Amino acid sequence: MATLDLSNKRILVTGGAGFLGRQVVEQLRLAGADLEKITIPRSRDHDLRSLEACQRAVEHQDVVIHLAAHVGGIGLNLVKPAELFYDNLMMGAQLIHAAYQAGVQKFTCVGTICAYPKFTPVPFQEDDLWNGYPEETNAPYGVAKKALLVQLQSYRQQYGFNGIYLLPVNLYGPEDNFDPKSSHVIPALIRKVHEAQIRGDKHLPVWGDGSPTREFLYSTDAALGIVMGTQDYDGTEPVNLGTGYEISIKELVELICELMGYEGEIVWETDKPNGQPRRCLDTERACREFGFTAKVDFKQGLKNTIEWYRQHAE
């Protein structure tokens, strides 16, 4: 299979101005894409929940990388499940349909690890994706994104449309979303520790009991995997993007406190939800199909993220 030459391709990157999107655009540039030919639709100009907006966005494009999502941590999932389901389903389904109609050559859809069943054997293998219902707080978002995999597979079967589906694990890195109302666990913890230090708090309250495990992928690694998949993968099956390194929330909190020099006591709020019990990916397929393995060491990635946040905390 020939590597897709990006040098002369017109590429649409939805969500391209976001945390992951900026890294994807940079990896596209490093892979030879012409920045002049990369289009980033902004939500104020293109509401991708509308089919007409999707049709305008994909016009004359050769490649579409769909990163745009309405997404957040457990807090947002609990208060806005309907919005998360509707927005993500509508954006994805209509963009895929419009891209097919417009004759787009390649469609890369970035799904979510929340699509996996609540109790999936660890490490998660792509073939287990349909063996149960997602963890309840994630389900509206996870099911909406998982429906796009079915759409891509059926459009390939009926129309020969070349769409691929990638499943990155939880991302982190500089420029992440640190808003306490919608942030994921690493930026939320970094901000929480930073503010506790400023106030001189002796106690650090953290949701749950610390027992769940998670895996985290540095944003530049995720972007590299997405671009490598876009260039070199044309399969129907979903592909995990991760590191295969599993860490408990308890160890994570202790590590962040250590790297940030916080000396206070961690208080576990066991009346708050834990989320999915374990999360760690089998990353063999990405390595086998398009040669992707993550490069950034977790501790180093955390240091980079903490340093960036401290410089931009204001």
**Residues 6 or more apart from 291 whose CB is under 8 A from it?**
228, 232
Separation in Å, CA 197 to CA 54, 99, 203, 260? 45, 49, 10, 9
- 281 annotated binding-site participant: no
pLDDT at 1: 65
Please give the distance of CA 86 from its chain centroid, rounded to a whole number: 18
Contact between residue 293 and residue 283 where contact means Cβ atoms under 8 Å apart: yes
- pLDDT tens sequence across 123-181: 999 999 999 999 898 899 999 999 999 999 999 999 999 999 999 999 999 999 898 87
**Residues 6 or more apart from 221 whose CB is under 8 A from it?**
241, 243, 294, 295, 296
Separation in Å, CA 250 to CA 18, 63, 151, 172, 243? 29, 41, 38, 17, 19
- 160 annotated binding-site participant: no
- 129 annotated binding-site participant: no
pLDDT at 306: 98
- 20 annotated binding-site participant: yes
- 170 annotated binding-site participant: yes
Rounded Cα distance between 146 and 183, Å, is 22
pLDDT at 72: 67
Residues of the chain with pLDDT under 50: none
Residue type, 162: N
pLDDT at 44: 85
- 212 annotated binding-site participant: no
Mean model confidence pLDDT for the chain = 94
Give me the active site residues, please.
141
| Environment class of 125 (CB within 10 Å of its CB; exposed 0-12, middle 13-18, buried 19+) | middle
Question: pTM of the entire structure?
Answer: 0.93
- pLDDT tens sequence across 250-279: 999 999 999 999 999 999 999 988 877 888
Of 172, 123, 173, 130, the C-alpha closest to 283 is: 123
